[in-house]
Amino acid sequence: MIQLDIERDCKPARHIELRRALVSILSPNGLCAKCREYVGIGKLEIDHVKGRTNWQPRELSKLQRIKRYWTEYLADVSLRALCRSCNGGHLNNSWRSRDERKSA
Ligand SMILES: [Zn+2]
């Protein structure tokens, strides 16, 4: 796939570096913006507070995606850092993952 080739040509950790840098600005203490649980910088996901506007993450490589987030952040688009279960809440209701965490 073309997308994989693009990623292979980049330094492997580049998008991870950029992602961590942005997440640590959005949530310096590694807390989820919604449930306020500590998940850590490396596991937080970037979310659009007002919903994504005009692009689909699946069409972009990981590096393109994080660059897009940075561009939006610098253009004052509201972003926040969420844990995986809060970010995927539309698929997997957050009450359920909250219960799963309790029992874990
Ligand atoms: Zn959360």
User: pLDDT tens across 13-39, in order?
Assistant: 899 999 999 999 999 999 999 999 999
Distance 102 CA to ligand 1 centre (A): 13
42/24 Cα distance (integer angstroms): 9
pLDDT value for 54: 66
Ion ligand 1: residues, CB within 5 A, are 32, 34-35, 83, 86
pTM for the structure as a whole:
0.69
Domain ranges of the chain: 2-86+94-103
Distance 2 CA to ligand 1 centre (A): 34
Distance 4 CA to ligand 1 centre (A): 30
Nearest alpha carbon to residue 81 among 33, 49, 22, 37: 33
Higher-pLDDT residue of 94 and 73 is 73
Residue type, 49: V
* 36-87 tens-digit pLDDT: 999 999 999 999 998 766 666 677 898 999 999 999 999 999 999 999 999 9
pLDDT value for 6: 53
CA distances from 2 to 30, 65, 80 (A): 34, 15, 30
Higher-pLDDT residue of 83 and 12 is 83
Nearest alpha carbon to residue 94 among 103, 83, 79: 83
